[in-house]
Amino acid sequence: MGQTDADSPQYRLERLGPEALSDAELMAVVLDAGKNGRTKLAKAHKICEHFALGGLLALLPDELKRIDGINCSDAALLSAGSELAKRALEKGLGSRRVIRGAQDVLRVADELRD
């Protein structure tokens, strides 16, 4: 049985948000259709088999292109996305405060008063 549009990573992202998607599904959203009839998700799973998600941040496009089915465009898209993620982390955008309840609100209010 094939994948329906409702099951596609793009649709799931729109409907459920990026937090609900697996690493491979998020990668599939970035990738375009591949050679040899590979689907976006199959390509993404192939990448996840070769590298840990954190390891992608250090890879060069040439290293990604060594994976069967990953073309120049795929490698460039993933490298650009990885670089943007690294830059965001370096600027501290990954350290936003999370408010889950009244105690968190009080803590932030106290900090703002100081």
pLDDT per residue as tens digits for the range 42-96 = 888 888 888 887 788 888 888 888 888 888 888 888 888 888 788 777 777 655 6
Quote the tokens at residue 60.
Answer: 């060069």
Predicted confidence at residue 107, as pLDDT, reads: 82
For position 38, what pLDDT does the model report? 53
- Give the per-residue pLDDT at 33: 44
Q: Is 17 exposed, middle or buried (0-12, 13-18, 19+ CB in 10 A)?
A: exposed
Domain that holds residue 62: 5-113
The two structure tokens encoding residue 14: 């729109």
Tell me the pLDDT tens digit for each residue of 5-28: 677 787 888 888 878 888 888 888
How many structural domains compose the chain? 1
Distances (CA, A) of 99 to 18, 32, 72, 92: 19, 36, 42, 18
Predicted confidence band at 36 (pLDDT cuts at 50, 70, 90)?
very low
For residue 75, the model assigns a pLDDT of 84
pLDDT recorded at residue 35? 42
